[in-house]
Structure 1
Amino acid sequence: MKGTLYRALATALLVGGSTTAMAASDGQVRVNQLLASDPEYQETWHDVVEKEQRLPDWVLNLSGISEQQMSAVEEDGDRFLVGPLCETAQKCINKRLIVAFSWDKEDAYGMLVEVPEGLPGDKSPTRHADYRWLGKPDEGMQKLLQEQLKRDPNWY
């Protein structure tokens, strides 16, 4: 009886503890929840940003606003968990980050996009944006991150 109870308890703990990791691996997580979901994501992101200079805290900690869940995307035969992060909801057009983590959590990439504040509404943010690559993405990964940005209906 005790053995069965202990096995049931252990199973419940394992299932409960892996729920967050499972959610992160199938895209049911937002970028601002990712680092708290699994220490491997924390370690990988730390490796990406540790030698970067002058990154804002919301980028360093992935602590901005994420209104969309991350999605699974394939690039050159590899799967990535990809999603957007904004500094604040009000400044999303001006300061945003698109991140991609490899499925095995070994690699991460980012594209920090900054558009000058006060840009008139008739001016295309695309033409006035500054892009900063994080994690040394190759050309294929850069294209993937740019495609994610283009999904935003407010980005033209």
Structure 2
Amino acid sequence: MPDGGVNLTVDKIREAARLLDLDEVPPENRTFIAHVNQKDTLLSQTETTSADYNTVRTLVNGQIDTFYGFKFLWFGNRQEGGIPLAGDIRTCFAYHYDAMMASYGDIMNFSNPDIEVVWDHRSQSHLVIPKLRMGAKVVLGEGIVKVDCNEA
């Protein structure tokens, strides 16, 4: 969904839900992933904070947990990249739980294992820490909607 020169709005959330509905994606277990900059913009809109539009009292905790059938997950700036940002355009995602799955990297690469052994003085023992690379994999493309938001 193109950014249209604006940040995250109720209209963009409504359109993301409509696109998922068109593909007959079940209405339960929908998630919306966005940056905290989008949360700030969304909280400034009357439709998300007014009891006339929304039965969930958003301003009590300053959070938007669920709205328009989506469970919202908010991410800040992350060292590994976080929510994609290209120029002023941040790409957020609306998706159904069944459209994604966990993706694992090499759990044990025996030629170059990524295992750390550390002495823990509190427990007086060695801690063995195997490291695992993980990500996400798209299973059903029609269960995912990209929502571009202009942060300018």
Q: TM-score, normalised by structure 2?
A: 0.30
Q: Which has more helix, going by share of residues?
A: 1
Structure showing greater Rg: 2
Q: Which has more strand, going by share of residues?
A: 2
- Considering Cα pairs closer than 8 Å and 6+ residues apart, tell me whether 1 or 2 has the greater RCO: 2
